[in-house]
Amino acid sequence: MKAEERTFVAIKPDGVKRGLIGKILTRFEDKGYKIVAMKLLQVTPEIAAKHYAEHLGKPFYNRLMYYITSGPIVAMVVEGYGAVDGVRHIVGATDPDKADVGSIRADYAQAMEYNVVHASDSVESANREIAIYFEPVEIYDNWQSTLEKLVYDEERYEG
């Protein structure tokens, strides 16, 4: 049985500027995931440094800092069974040319640096990233999606 998980997703400045917010949100909603927090915000250099601390010192770090602060992002918390890996599958590989056909990055991106969307790579990263962008009171999961029992019923399915 898969665990119910939360993951952090950001539509990056290129995704927002290109008018892709709706199309990207639809991918997650269509899968049956629940969006339990969401906001449009300007990433400050301080937030960017916290978020991407693991990339400090890498050749692309300065460009990544410039890019992620170059306009607003849409930050969200997505909830669902096995959501960390499931969302990454929908998002696709970091390099859009290696991303599975039909994934967001394969469909909308050409460059590794401007890859439209970010998604946490593990439950631990998700918890860390969610805490950077959201206060606990900004996360609303006290509502039931009409799809909940249809897309994944803990009591009935094993896989």
Contact residues for ligand CMP, defined by CB under 6 A: 55, 60, 64, 94, 112-113, 115, 118
Nearest in space to 113 (alpha carbons), one of 157, 50, 70, 155:
70
Q: Kindly tell me the burial class for residue 26, based on how many C-beta atoms sit within 10 Å of its own C-beta (0-12, 13-18, 19 or more).
A: exposed
Nearer to ligand CMP, 39 or 55 (CB): 55
Determine the 3-state secondary structure of 159 from DSSP. coil
Is residue 124 within 8 A of residue 66, CB to CB? The reply is no
Q: Count H helices, E strands: the chain? A: 8, 4
Nearer to ligand CMP, 96 or 152 (CB): 96
Nearer to ligand CMP, 60 or 157 (CB): 60
Rounded to the nearest angstrom, the gap between the alpha carbon of residue 72 and the centroid of all alpha carbons in its chain is 15
Q: How far is the CB of 86 from ligand CMP (least distance, A)?
A: 16
From the list 51, 55, 89, 118, the catalytic residue is 118
Q: How far is the CB of 10 from ligand CMP (least distance, A)?
A: 7
Quote the tokens at residue 38: 């969401």
- Per the annotation, the verdict on 89 as an active-site residue is no
Q: How far is the CB of 47 from ligand CMP (least distance, A)?
A: 13
What are the catalytic residues? 118
